[in-house]
Structure 1
Amino acid sequence: MEAKSAVDSSPMSIQEHQHSPPEASPKPYSKKSFVTTLMEVATLRTPAFKEDSYFISSLKSSEKKALQELKNKLVHSHGSDSECSMWGIHLLGGDEKADVILLKFLRARDFRVLDSFNMLEKCLAWRKEFGADGVVGEDLGFKELEGLVAYMQGNDKEGHPVCYNAYGVFRDKDMYERIFGDEEKLNKFLRWRVQVLERGINLLHFKPGGINSIIQVTDLKDMPKRELRVASNQILSLFQDNYPEMVARKIFINVPWYFTMLYSMFSPFLTQRTKSKFVISKEGHAAETLYKFIRPEDIPVQYGGLWRPSDLNNSPPKSASEFTVKGGEKVNIQIEGIEAGATITWDIVVGGWDLEYSAEFVPNAEGSYTIAVEKPRKISPSEEAIHNSFTSREAGKMVLSVDNTVSRRKKVAAYRYIVRKSAHV
């Protein structure tokens, strides 16, 4: 695997470095557990969701007819009303962006025109009453929840914006009372939650063949289900009624075992289209699941990625290289060609850690001693990505090691680095 070239905007010169493939030892056979097998039954056998292209040419004749009938009903109901719009798109404009929105409402009601029209009319009324078009610019006073409870962060590998949701912080009674203590506070929170979603919607193309939906990642760890029942039901109702077909995939991470069992039981009663959007990942496997869909530099550090809230001021993020640490393996990543006086900065993460990590600098000159930059240490599953730097006094290479020899579980991992030559060279 080759490391990507370092890219930096600083005045210091940047040097490309050769990277030796990770060295690995054989892995032992690992038998699947009952829960793992159950997870595969619940997810892998469901065909992946295929997002609509929204090209008129790809529609069935009956679907084209339904679209035209819906347009006719809108014209009859609104005439040339300029307020008949959503997300800055005039629904009576007759362009492809309007068609994308109308097709979303039709798809949500299986192309039943009357049902789609009624849903659309209710949504238009709700958006006007709620003031949805202006909510993005409001300061609702939830700074403490930004980047923690619900937030947009990065894109998946196909370009869809990703919305993360985590409600475990509300197990704290003081936090719960502060946010949901009365009806007024609850309504304000719901407005903030709509604001987060609207930010994601504003990133969509609303164009045939474009990015027309988002990805939702929901962390179920420590979620107080009973306390949040009212809020979660209202959020779900708002989103289902007013944001049809806006989610391409729903990824549930840190899912308790009993949720998995319930899903397996009720899965036969869900529509194939609904099931095709679900990805369910049991607790401790968040990174392994998210890496399938999202680049590690866009995944928050608490889920085994490299993104931190502080990265908001440093965009776009530097690309990372992914690798796998198999059960029973020790992997060495060698970054060669480091000159004397150069500074190397690196980030490395292993999903679920629970293994030994170390970093050392190996000089090229014979007789020079290897420098233990980070001594070998066991890293717990709860630890986040490592960020460190080292300035070399002589030419050599950096070796990052992750030792998974005492485990039988394969783990996903990623790293990135940048090397700056000394300004005095």
Structure 2
Amino acid sequence: MVQKYQSPVRVYKYPFELVMAAYEKRFPTCPQIPVFLGSEVLRESRSPDGAVHVVERSCRLRVDAPRLLRKIAGVEHVVFVQRNVLNWKERTLLIEAHNETFASRVVVHENCSYTVSPGPSRRDPLPAGTPAPSPLSRPGPRQGACRGKEVIEHYLNELTSQGTSHIPRWTPALGREEDACGQAGQDPGSLEADRPSSAPCPALEMVSSDGDKLDADYIERCLGHLTPMQESCLIQLRRWLQETHKGKIPKDEHILRFLRARDFHVDKAREMLCQSLSWRKQQQVDLLLQTWRPPALLEEFYAGGWHYQDTDGRPLYILRLGQMDTKGLMKAVGEEALLRHVLSVNEEGQKRCEGNTKQFGRPISSWTCLLDLEGLNMRHLWRPGVKALLRMIEVVQDNYPETLGRLLIVRAPRVFPVLWTLISPFINENTRQKFLICSGSNYLGPGGLVDYLDKDLIPDFLGGESVCNVPEGGLVPKSLYLTEEEQERADQLRQWSETYHSASVLRGAPHEVAVEILEGESVITWDFDILRGDVVFSLYHTRQTPKPGPREQLIDRGWVLGRDYSRVEAPLVCREGESIQGSHVTRWPGVYLLQWQMHSPPGSVACSLPGVDDVLTALHSPGPKCKLLYYCEVLASEDFRGSMSSLESCTSGFSQLSAATSASSSGQSHSSSLVSR
């Protein structure tokens, strides 16, 4: 079995020559690395001009294992052979190492490189960065890189204390320099400009094969302590996203949360992160803080809000669950509005963490929640309310992992164990460990809130001195409850949103969905509701592979109808409020394109340049003009008895969300049917 480990990039803010001098001080012995027993030079050579120095050493490392195990194995140390190629002219150091001990059983190859990163000018002296772990710092893959950097910095400090703070760059001999200048047609004096000056130095770094890097200062300032293995996992996942993910790449802090949630198992974290990114795109969560405005009723009766920070600098969110009428809120605004509000709280929490990271100068990636349960009673155990709470927990755990740093529970009543029994199985173990319960009435004393909050920030309703602006909650008047019809419509919207997709259609930017058909005869079925505006629905066929364009547009503007693609369904004008179902029996394999485009009123003037007017109009459009929800599926022709989804959609209430359903219209052909409710 082959195992591969890729070290993260380390950076030194020192000139290359000084780093090399510190590196050489590690030989023949290095007290800073206890497992390194010593080394001897096997072979050494230099190029004629002295620019390249090659050293091959035999290095002995103590076996880091219990004494009994070492006796059983019959070895006290292992031998590695290390070959260093130092090029003073190119300013690179390449290190290759392999094991001699147990070489017949297991083979270990290790490669490391020091290189100078491109600076603002080739005339500037270039400072330096750090390598991956070498055999001389092999306590283990999780420790090697850190130990290697600590050792180099130790010897750099030693050189500085001895008065060596600058080492001139290598230059060729005078005769060779003149020859080189003569061959290049240059004045020998022009080479002086390439020698060291007092200009600022860019960084030299150990560059991995793909060029990824993490600056040590950036890690310490924004990400916090990471082992080399954890850095490597972050680099791997970030590189995979850059190569495969279309759209915005998450920040390192966001990626790191998913890695921590899956104990740095890259494959599991990648799967979880991809599902979350798809969910964020579908739910348009990235725009939530700009678009979500909680109903006035929520602002008045939702007893939660932000309140400064805890002693660790984490943003503090206070939730007075015991004072909140969860049943009344659900009946007044619906489950979806509550979920959107909870998501907005989590989005705001991440934003505040970034702000506190900049404010306090250290990485803060999670927030603290203070949960006050005074007033909790059996009303809070209302079954639909508990079910909604479990759904919110699931959504938050899947998409905001490792954002909760601590949950402080105070004033828990006797009914709390019942609630905890209901919800605790749905909370993962890592999150449950962050729950801290301050039992009894002495929650202000030692072991209570004062251990986590500054005294002057403890809320006044808990006996502190800080004025807290979190709403007090209270019972929601029944006169504000949704009617049964409104509640049913909200429930349908929630259920359908889990199956149906939403789309916005702009003028000149239709929404298109590609369906690939491998067999000649299959059945494509669709069901969509027009929530806003009027659209024209069409179905096309092509044997070419469409390439995604802007705004989900797949039909290339260079395609010619009748040559590159053909229309297999006559266009159908769909008015606002209509609900359309239909099907099409395919004749040929290939790609079928379902298209929704904005309906243009009769008499509109076409532009002399096809497509230009549409593009300009779309770019200057103030926002989406049409909105729809749709669902489509492909059935084998022998199994087709009418789409089950289309049949079930007869109970749809989407048409009631906008205007009253207009008169039915239908379009029929030998192979299709379109039905409008």
* Greater radius of gyration (CA): 2
Q: What is the TM-score normalised by the length of structure 1?
A: 0.49
